[in-house]
């Protein structure tokens, strides 16, 4: 395990954890649910999001074997069948409005086993989630070629006109019935919105009118592949032709290893609505020229051109020295769609060289580091607040809408809160606009602790601001809370005086600070004051309203203070 962890690290991956199905289930759902689950050891490996070629066991093992120089990089070849014998996919003009692009290929005489088949399905799923952007950009369909007969037609029809038996179902449905059927399906419901409101749905037929698939939702049951499938017809439809080509190249390069002639793919012909044709998969090899001194300079090493070529070859980028040693010719295989620019080649050379082997050097520029004034002030205040008997808390920067609005008696629209798009949990819907809810939740979680509870926090809050380039702005706030059998307004007021004393702000109107009676939705009427300093309002202090206290599941009175400390920097 340790050796493998080390190897992953050298290759630029991370072995996240070593676990088993049983462990995973017991962690998530408890011991009871995990009974009977498999004990087989599983490796969880973190793969960079741009390396589509490492998303299945085949590609990962092939990459590591080349890296360890145990095998040389295979050469992927495209076999173009004789005229009239190959598979054809004809795209009709109707698809333009829904999903205009399609590409296809065939894996001939492939031998699946249970593991290989599972890996094949798993790779499609991973690609769907990753480069295909949850099937929005590309959807993959794989079919048993022996159950269908070409040429195939990719068209779009009204939902009521499409009728077929979907994968793993026992009867035929129309497309509209399928939408209702899958609305409750935990897996497929996430993809329905992609075509749901379109007048026509995309669909692929064979020459006998058998439905292969209705992308991006479901394949037909008729052409489903199994462990015994020998010839696989692969089609990728989408809204982005570049991504569709990459996805097709990835699938065929990964699994052509199991064909009778390893690493060979049978090409298919795609006919466009305008009559033009194109052969897929492209499986394009291209060469880039890179200067060895550029690589050495960017990484900070001094390797000879030939050893740099060897390093790149280990990273699946076959390289050799050209000219009189002043240039490297790098061949980029179809599996490496992530190599877009020379800097990607430099990065791979650095990974192969080993980040830990690069000598540390002192930068040539001479600078003196300094703490950010705002952070310096924050650090100084923290120490003195702790000395005043308050305990520091660190709470989440994200919270729910209720925390900053309903529970504090204001409306969400009045808070200028920044919202998170499709949040993962209800607890993290917006960025906090005040530190108070975080401290009150901390008290609620620590009600068993002896009274009084005195907490403070100095952190950033976020509000919308149309005048900034990012549309939002951070402010450094200081918030303190006192929770006891009596409200303790005088303690919070005393803390404010202490903070001002530390900041050397005198208690007067001319050039100091003052407090004036005010109203705040979170505070008890007549027990709230606004704090003015440096000619502006910097915050409020007061006794919290009983409604606020009960909404945070607290039972005792509580007083609070919150100010913006940025004017004092």
Alpha helices in 417-555 (DSSP H): 436-445, 489-502, 546-551
Please count the other Cβ atoms lying within 10 Å of the Cβ belonging to residue 373.
9
- Bridge partners, residue 237, by sequence: 102, 139
Q: What was the pLDDT predicted at 34?
A: 72
d(CA 244, CA 260): 26
Cα angle for residues 305, 295, 321 (degrees, 5° grid): 25
Q: Which of 379, 378, 392 is nearest to 566 (CA)?
A: 378
What residue ranges of the chain have pLDDT lower than 70? 30
Q: What was the pLDDT predicted at 263?
A: 93
d(CA 282, CA 537): 65
Q: Phi, psi at residue 548, to the nearest 5°?
A: -65, -45
Token output for 228: 């015994």
- Sequence-distant (6+) residues with CB within 8 A of 222 are 147, 148, 164, 165, 210, 211, 212
325 φ/ψ sector (left φ>0, alpha ψ -120 to 50, else beta): left
Indicate the helix (H) or strand (E) that contains 17.
Answer: strand 14-20
- Bridge partners, residue 515, by sequence: 531
Q: What was the pLDDT predicted at 278?
A: 94
Q: What was the pLDDT predicted at 331?
A: 94
**What is the SS3 string spanning 113-135?**
CHHHHHHHHHHHHHHHHCCCCCC
Query: Is-contact 337 52, C-beta < 8 A?
Result: yes
Q: What was the pLDDT predicted at 38?
A: 80
d(CA 219, CA 482): 62
- Sequence-distant (6+) residues with CB within 8 A of 292 are 303, 304, 305, 308, 321, 325, 326, 327, 328
Query: Is-contact 87 106, C-beta < 8 A?
Result: yes
Q: What was the pLDDT predicted at 84?
A: 81
How far apart, in Å, do the first and last CA atoms of the chain sit? 52
The dihedral through the CA atoms of 68, 73, 74, 78 has a sign that is positive
Per residue in 234-285, pLDDT (tens digit) is 999 999 999 999 999 999 999 999 999 999 999 999 999 999 999 999 999 9
d(CA 552, CA 367): 49
d(CA 252, CA 114): 18
- Bridge partners, residue 205, by sequence: 153, 211
Peptide bond into 404 cis (omega under 30): no
Q: Got the DSSP string for 284-314?
A: --EEEEE-HHHHHHHHT----HHHHHHHHHH
Peptide bond into 151 cis (omega under 30): yes
CA atoms within 13 A on the CB side of 366: 0
Per residue in 6-29, pLDDT (tens digit) is 999 999 899 888 888 888 777 777
d(CA 456, CA 135): 47
Q: Which of 456, 418, 413 is nearest to 435 (CA)?
A: 456
Query: Is-contact 270 89, C-beta < 8 A?
Result: yes
Q: What was the pLDDT predicted at 423?
A: 82
What single-letter DSSP state applies at residue 282?
A: -
Indicate the helix (H) or strand (E) that contains 561.
Answer: strand 558-564
Cα angle for residues 499, 500, 501 (degrees, 5° grid): 90
Give the predicted TM-score (pTM) of the model: 0.70
Angle separating helix axes 305-314 and 57-67, nearest 10 degrees = 160
- Bridge partners, residue 213, by sequence: 204, 219
Q: Which of 54, 48, 64 is nearest to 11 (CA)?
A: 64
How far, in Å, are 24, 89, 290, 389, 398 from residue 424 at the CA level? 20, 40, 43, 37, 12
Q: Phi, psi at residue 282, to the nearest 5°?
A: -75, -35
The dihedral through the CA atoms of 431, 433, 439, 441 has a sign that is negative
Alpha helices in 388-468 (DSSP H): 401-404, 436-445
d(CA 151, CA 171): 26
Q: Domains of the chain: which residue ranges?
A: 1-46, 77-167+188-280, 286-357, 373-568
Peptide bond into 281 cis (omega under 30): yes
């Amino acid at each position: 395990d340790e050796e493998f962890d080390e190897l992953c690290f050298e290759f630029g991956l991370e072995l996240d954890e070593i676990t088993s199905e049983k462990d995973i289930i017991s962690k998530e759902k408890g011991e009871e649910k995990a009974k009977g689950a498999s004990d087989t050891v599983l490796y969880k490996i973190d793969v960079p999001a741009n390396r589509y070629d490492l998303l299945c066991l085949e590609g990962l093992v092939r990459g590591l074997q080349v890296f360890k120089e145990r095998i040389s990089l295979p050469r992927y070849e495209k076999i173009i069948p004789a005229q009239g014998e190959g598979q054809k996919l004809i795209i009709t003009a109707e698809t333009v409005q829904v999903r205009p692009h399609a590409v296809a290929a065939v894996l001939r005489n492939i031998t699946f086993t249970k593991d290989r088949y599972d890996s094949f399905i798993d790779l499609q799923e991973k690609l769907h989630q990753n480069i295909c952007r949850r099937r929005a950009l590309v959807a993959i369909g794989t079919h048993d070629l022996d159950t269908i007969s070409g040429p195939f037609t990719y068209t779009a029809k009204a939902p009521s006109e499409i009728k077929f038996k979907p994968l793993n179902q026992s009867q035929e449905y129309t497309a509209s019935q399928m939408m209702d059927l899958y609305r409750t399906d935990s897996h497929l419901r996430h993809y329905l919105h992609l075509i749901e409101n379109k007048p026509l749905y995309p669909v692929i037929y064979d020459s006998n009118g058998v439905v292969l698939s209705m992308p991006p939702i479901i394949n037909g049951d008729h052409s489903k592949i199994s462990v015994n499938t020998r010839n696989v017809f692969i089609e990728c439809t989408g809204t982005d032709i570049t991504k569709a080509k990459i996805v097709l190249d990835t699938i065929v390069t990964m699994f052509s290893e199991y064909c009778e002639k390893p690493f060979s793919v049978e090409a298919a012909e795609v006919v466009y609505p305008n009559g033009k044709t194109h052969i897929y998969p492209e499986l394009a090899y291209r060469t880039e020229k890179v200067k060895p001194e550029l690589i050495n300079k960017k990484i900070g090493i001094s390797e000879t051109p030939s050893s740099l070529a060897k390093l790149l070859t280990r990273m699946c980028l076959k390289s050799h020295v050209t000219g009189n040693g002043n240039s490297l010719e790098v061949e980029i295989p179809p599996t490496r769609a992530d190599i877009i620019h020379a800097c990607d080649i430099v990065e791979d050379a650095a990974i192969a060289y080993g980040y830990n082997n690069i000598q540390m050097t002192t930068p040539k520029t001479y600078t003196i580091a300094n703490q950010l004034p705002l952070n310096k002030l924050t650090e100084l205040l923290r120490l003195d607040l702790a000395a005043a008997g308050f305990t520091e808390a660190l709470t989440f920067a994200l919270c729910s809408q209720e925390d900053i609005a309903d529970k504090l008696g204001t409306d969400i629209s009045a808070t200028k809160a920044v919202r998170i798009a499709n949040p993962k949990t209800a607890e993290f819907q917006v960025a906090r606009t005040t530190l108070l809810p975080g401290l009150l939740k901390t008290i609620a979680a620590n009600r068993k602790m002896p009274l009084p509870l005195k907490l403070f926090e100095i952190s950033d809050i976020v509000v919308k601001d149309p005048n900034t380039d990012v549309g939002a702005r951070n402010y450094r706030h200081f918030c303190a809370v006192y929770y006891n059998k009596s409200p303790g307004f005088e303690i919070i007021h005393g803390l404010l005086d202490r903070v001002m004393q530390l900041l050397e702000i005198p208690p007067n109107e001319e050039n100091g600070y003052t407090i004036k009676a005010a109203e705040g939705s979170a505070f008890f009427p007549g027990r709230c004051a606004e704090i003015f300093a440096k000619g502006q309002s910097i915050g409020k202090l007061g006794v919290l309203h009983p409604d606020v206290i009960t909404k945070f599941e607290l039972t005792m009175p509580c007083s609070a203070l919150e100010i913006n400390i940025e004017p004092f920097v």
